[in-house]
Amino acid sequence: MPSARPEADRSDDWFDAWLTDAADLAGTRQALAAAEAAGWTVLRDLHRPGSTDATVEHVAVGHGGVVVVETLRWTGEVTAQDGTLRHRGYGRTADVAAVADAAGAVTALLAPAHRRAVRAVVSLAGRDLDPAAVRGGATVVGEPQLAAHLAALETVFSADDVALVAQYLAAELGGPASPEQLTVDDVFRPPAVWQPDARAAGPREPGAPPDGPTAGSTDGSTDGEVAAATDDRPGAGGPPRYTQPANREVGGLHAGQHEDGPDRPSTAAPRGAVGDGLLRVGLLVLGLLTVGNVLLAWLDAAH
């Protein structure tokens, strides 16, 4: 294969570029390599949450937050004027929006404290272009300016945040399958779905103490609460784990849902029952009137 040849014998790089598209990828990878040298963690070729085939090209995690980077490779004139990215005079807002949608899918995986730090960046291959916000929800920048753009972002993550978020995203998006993503159906589920299921913990071992305060605790905390507090402390039995929000925290409660459990008795009649009853009465009256009119017409015809 051409990639197995020594560097000294690579005089036909144009063929390798045509075969593997390596030339187009080199600019963005070099720019992100410079960002890595400045402290950023770059994840490559990741799954897109909620999709079985779509991928995310690059996710950079650093002091400036989480940056989803996609490279667009176009020939011809490319401009970013009046807030619109144009290629050969045609608006390419749809391409920008696709990158913003990918960033939104990544945002849904993060805890609330980290969601505001997600950005979408469109890197233009082989173009010299200063960063510019364009329609579609992303920032467009030329490849040579990409590393400087990341370095200039406002600091929103600490070093611990960078390590935890990068490790979490690598595990979620770099695995063998794409992670699931919440949909509208998840938001409209009944409140009982959002409650933790005690049965998930499994049956209690014989001789185990019942739930309640531990013998050595003085503040009334249970064993599970003490264990959770211990596991979250850095250096307590292992590295800290990233806390992903529960489904309820992501989706929230629908306007028609309440904090009360599903078994609470309801004194009000269901809205659908009243409507169905009125409909049945109306149909019965209409049927009686129709039968009466038929009888009267028959009697008139008989006389």
Do residues 27 and 129 touch, judged by C-beta distance below 8 A?
A: no
Would you say residue 194 has pLDDT above 60? no
Quick one: tokens of 261? 């459990």
pLDDT for position 288? 92
Distance of CA 190 to the CA centre of its chain: 22
Average pLDDT, the chain: 75
pLDDT for position 188? 58
Closest listed residue to residue 167, CA positions, set 45, 54, 41: 41
247-255, Cβ contacts within 8 angstroms, sequence gap of 24 or more:
247/182, 247/186, 247/193, 247/194, 248/194, 249/112, 250/108, 250/182, 251/182, 251/186, 251/187, 252/187, 253/191, 253/194, 254/187, 254/188
135 vs 10 pLDDT, higher one: 135
Residues in contact with 46: Cβ distance below 8 Å, sequence separation at least 6, in sequence order: 55, 56, 59, 169, 173, 174
255 vs 263 pLDDT, higher one: 263
Give per-residue pLDDT as tens, 113-171. Answer: 899 999 999 999 989 999 999 999 999 999 999 999 999 999 999 999 999 999 999 99
CA separation for the pair 157, 169 (Å, rounded)? 15
Closest listed residue to residue 59, CA positions, set 154, 187, 162: 162
pLDDT category at 18 given cuts 50, 70, 90 is very low
Strand 132-134, strand 138-142: pairing: antiparallel
CA separation for the pair 103, 119 (Å, rounded)? 7
- Partners of 62 in beta bridges: 65
Give per-residue pLDDT as tens, 36-67. Answer: 999 999 999 999 998 888 899 999 999 999 99
